[in-house]
């Protein structure tokens, strides 16, 4: 049973790495693709988006190699902090313009909901880290 759980976690980490690599490619090519609603302001936040995705890749790679429960919580907290900063800065800069105030507002609300979700995830991981049973 424990072996299956470890395999499932490894697959989860590999999928997260692949997804992050795809997102790195997408975000770094948005302006090249001339997507009408992405403005040049994306360059102001691209560095933190890249940093967050690289932290996710490194964190998940570390979890493949070393996976005690306490370490998993620490890595997820770190990844979530990077994600929070990235989404917050994207919200503040808002490098999008749909030429439609409702869509702009909707995306702003969506980014706020993501921020709330990330904060919740940080709190949950911190709770699990602090209340876990010691590994002997």
Cα distances (angstroms) measured from residue 84 to each of 100, 101, 113, 114: 26, 25, 11, 8
DSSP letter assigned to residue 12: H
User: What whole-number distance in Å separates Cα of residue 132 and Cα of residue 136?
Assistant: 12
What pLDDT score was predicted for residue 91?
98
- pLDDT, position 2: 63
Asked whether the predicted pLDDT for residue 22 surpasses 60, the reply is yes
Task: Give 72-87 pLDDT, tens digit per residue.
Answer: 999 999 999 999 999 9
- Residue by residue, DSSP assigns 55-93 as HHHHHHHHHHH---HHHHHHHHHHHHHHHHHHHHHHHHH
Q: What is the pLDDT of residues 77-129, one digit of tens each?
A: 999 999 999 999 999 999 999 999 999 999 999 999 999 999 999 999 999 99
Contacts of 99 (CB under 8 A, 6+ apart): 36, 37
What percentage of the chain carries pLDDT values higher than 90?
Answer: 89
Global pTM reads: 0.92
């Amino acid at each position: 049973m424990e072996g299956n759980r470890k395999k499932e976690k490894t697959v989860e980490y590999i999928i997260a790495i692949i997804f992050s690599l795809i997102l790195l490619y997408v975000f770094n090519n948005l302006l090249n693709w001339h997507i009408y609603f992405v403005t040049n302001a994306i360059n102001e936040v691209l560095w933190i988006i890249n940093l967050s995705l690289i932290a996710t890749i490194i964190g998940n790679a570390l979890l493949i190699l070393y996976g005690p429960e306490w370490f998993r919580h620490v890595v997820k907290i770190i990844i979530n902090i990077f994600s929070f900063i990235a989404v917050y800065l994207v919200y503040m800069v808002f490098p999008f313009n749909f030429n439609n105030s409702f869509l702009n507002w909707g995306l702003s609300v969506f980014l706020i909901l993501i921020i709330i979700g990330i904060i919740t995830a940080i709190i949950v991981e911190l709770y699990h880290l602090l209340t876990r049973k010691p590994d002997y």
